[in-house]
Structure 1
């Protein structure tokens, strides 16, 4: 009899990724919990898509109610999308006041790159050398999971990503300056090549890079370099946004800079396929003039209802404050764990990383990290890995995650580590 995995490959093709050596067959979710087909319960310490918790009743009800009334595209007038954009833009403390609603973070980042082109009239783009910003053809040229066929195009430069244990330039104290110098050098190369410089795209938490410990102001020298060159700062908030970092709604607020464009995605409608690009009116006008853009499903009434309900839940349930409180508590407990392979434990709000290293204290311990992830899965705790060598444990739970949930995860992790080789 054909297994579910075999059927999946037959119908979806090869190399469609799944988590874990033995993939999970998940059939139900509620809050921070997931259940598999056999009825086993798992604590979800990884998924940022169900931002306010799996199947939150307020979001489910809002989707169902609007779907029973109307769902169409934005070439007809409707209020919900405008109500949402108005409330969303009010969450920014600077001059980002207009938005384009789309369906995925990839689409949002694709638009952000085109906004940079429209404003500058140039095509040169910069990102870090260990990042991910989506899977459209345009955006994937910045992403480093797999190089594009034929290699990276001439208008793209990838600069060394910041790192806690292996800092750019070899020294933590000078890393911010060296990072900015590398961006400046990339800009010079783009200008000399004839492409010119349009924009620098980054995640303000440098999440896929490994969630390095960076102080507020780290990006100040880089932002100055970008501004001086006439380029745009494009900020991908798909992972750190909507209060995940606890101390603010947005990751760029934590680092203390003001981007020209912000992109949003997965968390904004609690799993309903919604994303957005938020920017200034002058940038929006340049984009609208240069590109005839329309998105059939972006900002439809059902998506807007899901977004509004998600925003309501974040506010009424105090989930940003919860991320701050539970984040500080859980990080302290994680940092109390001890094992020779732990190189550094770091985090901000409900976003944690634990980096595993080899005996020399520097080389990545990739296999060790994979074994820890599998051991946690066997104990009913779901998390995964990030980083250049996939040696960094990644915890990014839904926002209702509690102190007791943190206790459960940390205690299980302590048990797994105790059984790992020294």
Structure 2
């Protein structure tokens, strides 16, 4: 392992991140499990990229068959992207029936911001104060974890993110109003500095903010303010999309609002690099007229085949229903643990995106949360942290996760809390 890490640092850079103090050297995966190069087996409770399970045979076959037949770019006409696009957009309401296929969520959000500029003629963007939307130069301005070189630009303004334990406005019931007030302030600042409002961009599950428990209609007042200012709404569905939350296919459906643009990524093709921007025809047309854009690999025949296979597996294996059932079961198991460990301050989630927030002595228990992640890794279960203080255990497994997997997760959590809490 030491030699591998030395080579990795030399080739990929000394700050190329790894999970865990002792990184996991993976060799293969199947379903909800991973194996390292020593043959040790891990329950994967974190990776949402293999949405239908690691190395699903139908996805593997689709990729191999199409790769053996044809692969090129979308300046040539090919049926695969059209068949997939029609199947995918059929999952959306609100006239969202046009799309651009790209290779990553970062690209998708970058394109979405340009769509908003083209549609509105404005450049100001509003997001939350604890978010992440990708790695391009444009979307890195939205993120809060690291200040870009030269500092944050003044075309981006932030509203206070919702939070279960420390809600803006002082109460969970009042944080929708507090968020709307933050958006109102941001609008005024953007109009005063000449940028105006092109878009509000949010993950409708507020995943990186710590996936707080929010009721339908949470964003209604904020959205009304943005629309009144001439802006449009972008829903970043990279994490909650494709039925992960169990109750709905998309996070914006759970909060019951109508986005103008939806961005997709990670789970779209089970690990093959596929992402997309879904929007209305008039917005796509404005973008194409306002920007010269082409993506060599976006929507290629192999990518379209992989993505179509994922869509079909989700339907055929009832994975949305599975996410709802197993997610509720797993949350129930975590709530049982909460009765035994007072450091578990809050258990929450929807479908197969859930977790537990840890506090100790009236403060976020960041160090304990990190220790739990390491202890779970050492016991053969992979998960990670989330939230403003990284004090929430983030559990986001492949959607093939079953009740037996949830039992193993809960048993291992129990043992890990007993060891480190």
TM range (shorter): over 0.9
Contact map agreement 1:340 1:359 (CA 8 A) in 2: no
Query: Counterpart of 1:168 in 2: which secondary structure?
Result: coil
Mapping of residues 7-406 of structure 1, within 5 Å: 7-338=7-338, 339-360=341-362, 363-406=363-406
Q: Distance in 2 between matches of 1:41 and 1:353?
A: 22
Contact map agreement 2:160 2:178 (CA 8 A) in 1: no
Per-residue CA shift, 1:37-64, capped at 9, x if unaligned? 0000000000000000000000000000
Q: Distance in 1 between matches of 2:114 and 2:265?
A: 17
Query: Counterpart of 1:258 in 2: which secondary structure?
Result: coil
Q: Distance in 1 between matches of 2:151 and 2:344?
A: 35
How far 1:233 moved relative to its partner? Answer: 0.6
Aligned residue pair count: 419
Q: Which residue does the alignment assign to 1:413?
A: 413
Q: Distance in 1 between matches of 2:104 and 2:375?
A: 32
How far 1:93 moved relative to its partner? Answer: 2.3
How large is the Cα RMSD of the aligned pairs? 0.9
Query: Counterpart of 1:278 in 2: which secondary structure?
Result: strand
Contact map agreement 1:210 1:353 (CA 8 A) in 2: no
Q: Distance in 2 between matches of 1:246 and 1:353?
A: 15
Per-residue CA shift, 1:69-100, capped at 9, x if unaligned? 10000000000000001000000122100000
Per-residue CA shift, 1:272-323, capped at 9, x if unaligned? 0000000001111110110011000000000000001010100000000000
How far 1:358 moved relative to its partner? Answer: 2.0
Query: Counterpart of 1:337 in 2: which secondary structure?
Result: helix
How far 1:221 moved relative to its partner? Answer: 0.9
Contact map agreement 2:118 2:290 (CA 8 A) in 1: yes
Query: Counterpart of 1:169 in 2: which secondary structure?
Result: coil
What TM-score, normalized to structure 2? Answer: 0.98
Moved more, 240-249 or 173-182: 173-182
Q: Distance in 2 between matches of 1:139 and 1:229?
A: 22
Per-residue CA shift, 1:256-285, capped at 9, x if unaligned? 101000000010100000000000011111
How far 1:420 moved relative to its partner? Answer: 2.5
How far 1:2 moved relative to its partner? Answer: 6.1
How far 1:419 moved relative to its partner? Answer: 2.1
| Unaligned ranges ≥5, structure 2 | none
Contact map agreement 2:158 2:182 (CA 8 A) in 1: no
How far 1:33 moved relative to its partner? Answer: 0.3
What TM-score, normalized to structure 1? Answer: 0.98
Contact map agreement 2:359 2:365 (CA 8 A) in 1: yes
